[in-house]
Amino acid sequence: MVEKISFVVKPSISIAESIIDYVQGHEPQFSPMLFSKHNVEDARFQFATASLRVDMVEFDDEHHSGLAHVSYGIHFFWPCNNQDEIDTFQEKLPFVIKDNQVIFSLTTHQPWIVIDKQKKRAGKALFFM
Q: Could you tell me the residue ranges of all domains in the chain?
A: 2-127
pLDDT at 64 over 50: yes
Residue % of the chain over a pLDDT of 90: 59
69-109 residue pLDDT tens: 999 999 988 778 778 889 999 999 999 999 999 999 998 87
pLDDT at position 45: 84
Contacts 24+ apart (CB under 8 A), 32-40: 32/108, 33/3, 33/106, 33/107, 33/108, 33/109, 34/70, 34/72, 34/89, 34/91, 35/74, 36/108, 36/109, 36/110, 37/89, 37/91, 37/109, 38/74, 39/112, 39/128, 40/111
- The helix (run of H) or strand (run of E) holding residue 83 is strand 83-98
Alpha-carbon gap, residue 52 to 23, rounded angstroms: 8
**pLDDT classification of 113: cutoffs 50, 70, 90:** low
